[in-house]
Chains A and B, each alone.
Chain A
Amino acid sequence: SYVLTQPPSVSVAPGQTARITCGGNNIGSESVHWYQQRPGQAPVLVIYEDIDRPSGIPERFSGSHSGNTATLTISRVESGDEADYYCQVWGGGHVVFGGGTKLIVL
């Protein structure tokens, strides 16, 4: 099954752009989904099928996928964006989550 690798943390100042990567062997053919988990809360889907945004998710959240790396980009970062972010794929008979990235808003 896949192993998805995320950086443990990403730090960004308010108003700047945060980029969180998700790498994995052979995920080029799979769709990647992203979840935001604020402290003490359940995860929330923020990007699915690499680039699609659920209703209610701000346009500041976007996704991309090139080769074996997917990227979640958060533009004009706000303090409320501080959370853990997880990537996830479904493929090869397995659902796999990345280890999560803590977004720190300075």
Chain B
Amino acid sequence: QVQLVESGGTLVKPGGSLRLSCAASGFTFSDYYMSWIRQSPGKGLEWLAYIGRSDSAVLYADSLKGRFTISRDNSKNTLFLQMNSLRVEDTATYYCARDKYQGVIAFGGVHSHWGQGTLVTVSS
């Protein structure tokens, strides 16, 4: 079955950097668009970025202002999120999610499978 397992979340100081990983299994990873979505404590869902089947297609939420970078390693079935210049307001649970549609050229926008999330806490 489809499994997505995030890791890398931890306590980091403001201004610091962190790299999150999402290990995928149970499906052909390279066939799917992938996204990162976060949820601040007690708040709603916020989509951050998606990446196409290769690194060629990426899109970010305007709010990130270039601080985050999404990437993937299809040989290792792993999705990444590099987060720089972290702020207190970046404190959240970070989820990776798989798009529903296999082998498509364009992002489908349907997040059919989610990982369990990894908690990032930004605090001094």
Interface residues of A (CB under 8 A from B): 1, 31, 33, 35, 37, 41-45, 48-49, 54, 86, 88-91, 93-100
A35-B111, A49-B110, A54-B112 are known contacts; what are 18 more A-B pairs with Cβ within 8 Å? A33-B109, A37-B45, A41-B116, A42-B95, A42-B114, A43-B111, A48-B112, A86-B44, A88-B47, A91-B109, A95-B35, A95-B109, A96-B47, A97-B44, A97-B45, A97-B47, A99-B44, A100-B45
Give the total number of A-B pairs whose CB atoms are below 8 A apart.
58
Tell me whether B59 is interfacial, beta carbon within 8 Å.
yes
Report A-chain residues with C-beta under 8 Å of the C-beta of B90: none
Binary flags per residue of B45-71, CB closer than 8 Å to A gives 1, else 0:
111001000000001011000000000
How many whole Å from B45's CB to the nearest CB in chain A?
A: 4
CB contact between A45 and one of B35, B44, B107, B110 (< 8 Å): that residue: B110
Tell me, in angstroms, the Cα distance from A35 to B37 when the chains sit together.
13
Are the C-beta atoms of A44 and B114 separated by less than 8 Å?
Answer: yes
Tell me which residues across on chain B come within 8 A of A31, comparing CB atoms.
109
* Contact call B115/A48, Cβ cutoff below 8 A: no
CB atoms of A42 and B117 under 8 A apart: yes
Distance to closest chain A CB from B9 (angstroms): 14
Q: Give Cα distance in the complex from A45 to B109, angstroms.
A: 12
Asked if residues B95 and A45 are in contact (CB atoms below 8 Å), the reply is no
CB neighbours of A33 from chain B (8 A): 109-111
- Using CB atoms, name the residue of chain B closest to A49: B110
Query: Given A86-B45, A95-B50, A100-B45, are A43 and B95 also a contact pair (CB < 8 Å)?
Result: yes
